[in-house]
Structure 1
Amino acid sequence: MFIDKARISIKAGDGGNGAVSFHREKYVAAGGPDGGDGGKGGDVVFVADTNLSTLIDFKYKKNYTAQNGQNGMTRRCFGKGGEDLVIRVPLGTILREAQTGRVMADISGTEPVIVAKGGKGGWGNAHFATPTRQIPRFAKGGIPGESFDVLLELKLLADVGLVGFPNVGKSTLISMVSNAKPEIANYHFTTLIPVLGVVRIDEGNSYVMADIPGLIEGASEGVGLGHEFLRHVDRCRLIVHIVDVSGSEGRDPKEDFVKINYELKNFSEELAERPQIVVANKCDIAEPEQIESFKRYVEDQGYPFFSIAAATRQGVDALKYAIAARLKELPPIKRYEPEQAPLETIGDNRSFEITDQDGVFVVEAPWLLKVLSSCNMEDYESLQYFQRVLVESGIIDKLVEMGVKEGDTVSIYDFEFDYVD
Structure 2
Amino acid sequence: MFIDHAKIYVKGGDGGNGCVAFRREKYVSMGGPFGGDGGRGGNVIFVADEGLTTLMDFKYRKHFKAERGTHGKGKNQHGAWGEDLIVKVPVGTIIKDDDNGEILADLTAAGQEAIIAKGGRGGKGNSRFANATHKAPAMAENGEPGQERWISMELKLLADVGLVGFPNAGKSTLISQVSAARPKIADYPFTTLVPNLGVVSTRDHDSFVIADIPGLIEGAHQGVGLGHDFLRHIERTRLLLYILDAAQVDGRDVMSDLYTLQNELALYNPELAQRPFLVVANKMDIPGAEENCRVLEEQYKERFFKISAATGNGVQELMDKTYELLKLIPKPEPVFTDIKVIHRYDDEVPFEINIVNGIYEVTGKRIENLVKMANLDQDDSLQRFQRTIERMGLEDALREKGIKNGDTVKICELEFEYSQ
What TM-score do you get using the length of structure 2 for normalisation? 0.78
Q: Which runs of 5+ in 2 are unaligned?
A: 352-363, 369-391, 394-420
Distance in 2 between residues matched to 1:79 and 1:114, nearest whole Å: 22
Find out whether 1:170 has 2:166 as its counterpart.
no
Cross-structure match for 1:417: none
Counterpart Cα distance in 1 of 2:13 and 2:272: 40
Determine the structure 1 residue equivalent to 2:71.
71
**Bigger shift: 162-171 or 54-63?**
54-63
Residues 286-327 of structure 1 show CA distances to partners (whole Å, capped at 9, x for unaligned) of 44332322212344xxx8111111111111111111111111
Distance 2:253 2:329 in 1: 31
Judged with a 3 Å threshold, the aligned counterparts in structure 2 of structure 1 residues 209 and 333 are, in CA distance, closer, same or farther, namely farther
Say whether residues 1:206 and 2:219 are aligned partners: no
1:49 aligns with 2:49: yes
Measure how far apart 1:142 and its partner are. Answer: 1.9
Whether 2:80 is the aligned partner of 1:96: answer no
- Over 3 Å counting, the alpha-carbon distance change for 1:269 and 1:335 in structure 2 is farther
Of 269, 292, 295, the match for 1:293: 295
* Inter-partner Cα distance in structure 2 for 1:102 and 1:337: 15
Looking at structure 2, the residues matched to 284 and 306 of structure 1 have their Cα atoms a distance apart, in angstroms, of 14
Distance 1:169 1:116 in 2: 44
Identify the residue that residue 310 of structure 2 maps to in structure 1: 311
Aligned to 2:187: 186
How far, CA to CA, are the matches of 2:277 and 2:290 in structure 1?
Answer: 23
1:345-387 deviation per Cα after TM superposition (whole angstroms, max 9, x unaligned):
x9x98217xxxxxxxxxxxx83699xxxxxxxxxxxxxxxxxx
> Structure 2 vs 1, CA of residues 170 and 333 (structure 1 numbering), >3 Å: closer, same or farther?
farther
Give me the whole-angstrom Cα distance separating, in 2, the residues matched to 1:260 and 1:163: 8
Give 3-state SS (helix, strand or coil) of 2:243's partner: strand
Matches within 5 A, 1:315-330: 315-330=314-329
Conserved in 2, the CA contact under 8 Å of 1:103 and 1:336?
no
Q: For the residues of structure 2 that align with 1:237 and 1:60, how far apart are their CA atoms?
A: 34
> Per-residue displacement from partner, 1:71-111 (whole Å, max 9, x unpaired)?
11100101111111111222211101112211111222213
- 1:69 is paired with a residue whose SS is coil
Coordinate RMSD, CA, aligned: 2.6
Counterpart contact for 1:46–1:86, Cα < 8 Å:
yes
- How many positions carry a matched residue from both structures? 353
1:325 and 1:203, CA in 2 relative to 1: closer, same or farther beyond 3 A? closer
Secondary structure at 1:312's aligned position in 2? coil
Are 2:18 and 1:8 aligned?
no
Check 1:238–1:367 CA distance in 2 against 1; reply closer, same or farther (3 A cut): farther
The 1:209/1:368 distance shift into structure 2, 3 A limit, reads farther
Kept in 1, the 8 Å contact 2:115–2:339? The answer is no
Task: Describe the shift of the 1:240–1:96 C-alpha distance in structure 2 as closer, same or farther (beyond 3 A).
Answer: same
SS of aligned partner of 1:172 = helix
> Which residue type is aligned with residue 175 of structure 1?
S
Consecutive unaligned residues of structure 1, counting only runs of 5 or more, are 353-364, 370-396, 399-421
Asked if residue 273 in structure 1 is aligned to residue 267 in structure 2, the reply is no
Structure 2 equivalent of residue 359 of structure 1: none
Q: In 2, are the aligned partners of 1:15 and 1:145 still within 8 Å (CA)?
A: yes
One-letter amino acid matched to 1:291: C
* Structure 2 counterpart SS, 1:295: helix
Secondary structure at the aligned position of 1:284 is classed as coil
1:391-417 deviations in Å (ceiling 9; x for gaps): xxxxxx99xxxxxxxxxxxxxxxxxxx
Q: Say if 1:340 and 1:15 are closer, same or farther in 2 by CA, change over 3 A.
A: closer
CA 366–203 in structure 1, closer or farther in 2 if over 3 Å, else same? farther
**Offset, 1:133:** 2.5
Distance in 1, matches of 2:349 and 2:60, equals 36
Residue type of the alignment partner of 1:15: G
Q: Give the CA deviation at 1:212.
A: 0.3
| Counterpart-to-counterpart distance in 2, 1:102 and 1:367 | 22
In the TM superposition, what are the counterparts of 1:20-419 in structure 2 within 5 Å? 20-109=20-109, 110-202=111-203, 205-285=206-286, 286-299=288-301, 304-333=303-332, 335=334, 338=337, 350-351=349-350, 366=365
- Residues 339 and 81 from structure 1, CA distance in 2 versus in 1: closer, same or farther, beyond 3 angstroms? closer
What is the alpha-carbon distance in structure 2 between the residues aligned to residue 82 and residue 178 of structure 1? 45
How many Å apart are 1:340 and its aligned residue?
7.8
Shift of 1:121: 1.1
Secondary structure of the structure 2 residue equivalent to 1:31: coil
Offset of 1:34 from its aligned partner?
A: 0.9
Q: Which letter maps to 2:250?
A: E
Rounded Cα–Cα distance in structure 1 between residues aligned with 2:62 and 2:225: 29
Deviates more, 1:132-141 or 1:241-250: 132-141
Name the larger-Rg structure: 2
State the alpha-carbon separation in 1 of the partners of residues 3 and 147 from structure 2: 27
SS of structure 2 residue aligned to 1:310: coil
**Letter paired with 1:304:** R
Distance 1:182 1:164, change over 3 A: same
Please give the alpha-carbon distance, in whole angstroms, between the structure 2 residues aligned to 1:118 and 1:100: 21
Distance 2:198 2:136 in 1: 69
Q: Which moved more, 1:33-42 or 1:107-116?
A: 107-116
AA matched with 1:295: E
**1:103/1:338 contact within 8 Å kept:** no
The answer to whether the 8 A contact 1:165-1:216 is kept is: yes
Is the Cα–Cα contact under 8 Å of residues 36 and 79 in structure 1 kept in the other structure? yes
| Aligned-residue offset at 1:116 | 1.3
- Cα pair 1:159 1:333 within 8 Å, conserved: no
1:254-279 superposed Cα distances (whole Å, 9 cap, x missing partner) = 10001111111111111222111111
- Contact map agreement 1:235 1:334 (CA 8 A) in 2: no
Cα distance change, pair 334–178 in 1 and its aligned pair in 2 (3 A): farther
Task: Give the distance between the partners of 1:139 and 1:336, measured in 2 at CA.
Answer: 42
**Alpha-carbon contact 1:245-1:294 (below 8 Å) kept:** no
One-letter amino acid of the counterpart of residue 247, structure 1: Q
